[in-house]
Amino acid sequence: MNWLRSIIMPEIQGWQHARDVDDLFMFILYVSIILYAIIAIGVGYFVWKYRRRRENEVTPDFSHNTMLEIVWTVIPTIPILVMFFWGFSTYMHARVAPADALEIKVVARKWGWDFTYPNGMTFGQEMHVPAGRPVKLLMISQDVIHDFYVPDFRIKQDVVPNRYSTIWFEAEGPGEHVVFCAEYCGLDHSNMLAKLVVDTEDQYQQWLERKAEEVMNMPLPELGKLLYVSKGCNSCHSVDGSRIQGPSFLGIWGQTHRFTDGTSAVVDEDYVRESVLQPAAKIVTGYEPVMPSFQGLLREREIQALAEYIKSLQP
Ligand code: HEC
Ligand SMILES: [Cu+2]
């Protein structure tokens, strides 16, 4: 009956778990079809057999049949118990990652995914993993509820704010897969996609090195743009002039800003550096002192990059 499977489910390119999920799905489908057929045929047969043939016809008065009742209770219970134990063990398998899994941190936000690798680096909307190695995702949302969904792997897990959730998989071979957000999370929900690239172990290591090198050699404004997103400045600072929690970065370079203590300063490299390392030192008038310090979280080159990026934002 593989033709039925090929109609209703996309081809699996994932891993054993995906096949288990499909097998269970097909088992439930077949059991449902068989039960439906027995009931539908039975109904049809009895409607025909006990149709009214004569005026004033009276049917025999049965109250029950113990044997029949035991049979129709016990027999359907068996496949249902199979469904439960099979489903439970498949579910547990997907929940509990092996202890030696490669851990990738995932941050979901409106509307994208950030993937942080064991070397501490984050490189944007493409996730790379090695084939043949369990990969565990430690996920959290920066804003609303999202849902990490890879149809090819048959895995799906809510990603919520204030609490970590995890999911794991082990891709069998190299290939490309799509990550969707499966929780309606606002305007650009349908564009909240990422590419999941499965490499061989060697390709994966090379990709990590090449990306790390790219970041090291990236022009400063570009690196700044990357950090603006990956370090979360974008959740409080816009680049289009609109006010979020903090002032927009658009066109502030070279301006004189006033602070709550009555002093003022020109927005330049020193000011940006101080804002990032000691945000409480100067509070822009009209704003709350809510910015966290990035002391120890940004390298000198990265601070320069952020300053260059802000400098590049002219209306
Ligand atoms: C939790 C919100 C929040 C985050 C995250 C945040 N900031 Fe801020 N930032 C603020 C607020 C609010 C102000 C205004 C009050 C103040 O001066 O502290 C501000 C002020 C600034 C200023 C001065 C702006 C001006 O108009 O004078 C700079 C520069 C700045 N932030 C840079 C950054 C950078 C770079 C990052 C990311 C590495 C970042 N901020 C992350 C909230 C945030
Ligand atoms: Cu989402």
Residues 284, 250: one domain?
A: yes
The pLDDT value given to residue 44 = 96
Q: How many CB atoms lie within 10 A of CB 175?
A: 14
Residues 224, 209: one domain?
A: no
What is the per-residue burial (b if ≥16 Cβ within 10 Å, else e) of 227-252?
bbebbbbbeebbbeeeeeebbebbeb
Could you tell me if the CB of 257 is within 6 A of ligand 1?
Answer: yes
Give me 46's structure tokens. Answer: 């009895």
The C-alpha angle 158, 160, 165, rounded to 5 degrees, equals 65
Q: What three-state secondary structure class fits 140? A: strand
Residues 226, 212: one domain?
A: no
Residues 210, 172: one domain?
A: yes
> Per-residue pLDDT tens for 6-59?
665 655 556 788 888 888 999 999 999 999 999 999 999 999 988 888 888 887
Q: What three-state secondary structure class fits 155? A: strand
Centre of ligand 2 to C-alpha 144, Å, is 8
Could you tell me if the CB of 291 is within 6 A of ligand 1?
Answer: yes
> Per-residue pLDDT tens for 214-233?
877 888 998 899 889 877 78
Q: Is the peptide bond before 111 cis (omega within 30 degrees of 0)?
A: yes
Could you tell me if the CB of 279 is within 6 A of ligand 1?
Answer: yes
Please identify, by atom number, the ligand 1 atom nearest to the C-alpha of residue 282.
Answer: 17
Residues 112, 210: one domain?
A: yes
Residues 115, 203: one domain?
A: yes
Torsion sign over Cα 10, 16, 18, 19: positive
Please name the helix (run of DSSP H) or strand (run of DSSP E) that holds residue 168, with its range, or none: strand 165-169
Centre of ligand 2 to C-alpha 169, Å, is 20
Cα–Cα distance for residue pair 93/96, rounded to 1 Å? 6
> DSSP string of 203-214?
HHHHHHHHHHHH
Give, for ligand 1, the residue of 229, 234, 237, 306 to mutate: max count of ligand atoms closer than 8 Å to Cβ.
Answer: 237
Centre of ligand 1 to C-alpha 234, Å, is 10
For residue 228, the domain's CATH number is: 1.10.760.10
Could you tell me if the CB of 116 is within 6 A of ligand 1?
Answer: no
Cα–Cα distance for residue pair 311/313, rounded to 1 Å? 6
The pLDDT value given to residue 2 = 59
Cα–Cα distance for residue pair 189/283, rounded to 1 Å? 35
Residues 212, 279: one domain?
A: no
Residues 69, 131: one domain?
A: no
Bridge partner residues of 103 (DSSP)? 136
Residues 78, 29: one domain?
A: yes
- Picking from 60, 95, 130, the residue at the C-terminal end of a domain is 95
The pLDDT value given to residue 4 = 60
One-letter amino acid at 297 equals L
Residues 209, 109: one domain?
A: yes
pTM (two decimals): 0.63
Cα–Cα distance for residue pair 97/103, rounded to 1 Å? 10
Cα–Cα distance for residue pair 164/161, rounded to 1 Å? 8
Residue ranges of the chain whose pLDDT lies below 50:
none
- Picking from 69, 95, 121, the residue at the C-terminal end of a domain is 95
Which domain, by its residues, includes 60? Answer: 2-95
Q: Which ligand is nearest to the CA of 246?
A: 1
Cα–Cα distance for residue pair 20/154, rounded to 1 Å? 10
Residues 181, 254: one domain?
A: no
For residue 172, the domain's CATH number is: 2.60.40.420
- The count of structural domains within the chain is 3
The pLDDT value given to residue 226 = 85
Please identify, by atom number, the ligand 1 atom nearest to the C-alpha of residue 284.
Answer: 17
Please identify, by atom number, the ligand 1 atom nearest to the C-alpha of residue 252.
Answer: 26
- Picking from 216, 237, 253, the residue at the C-terminal end of a domain is 216
Residues 204, 298: one domain?
A: no
Cα–Cα distance for residue pair 78/91, rounded to 1 Å? 20
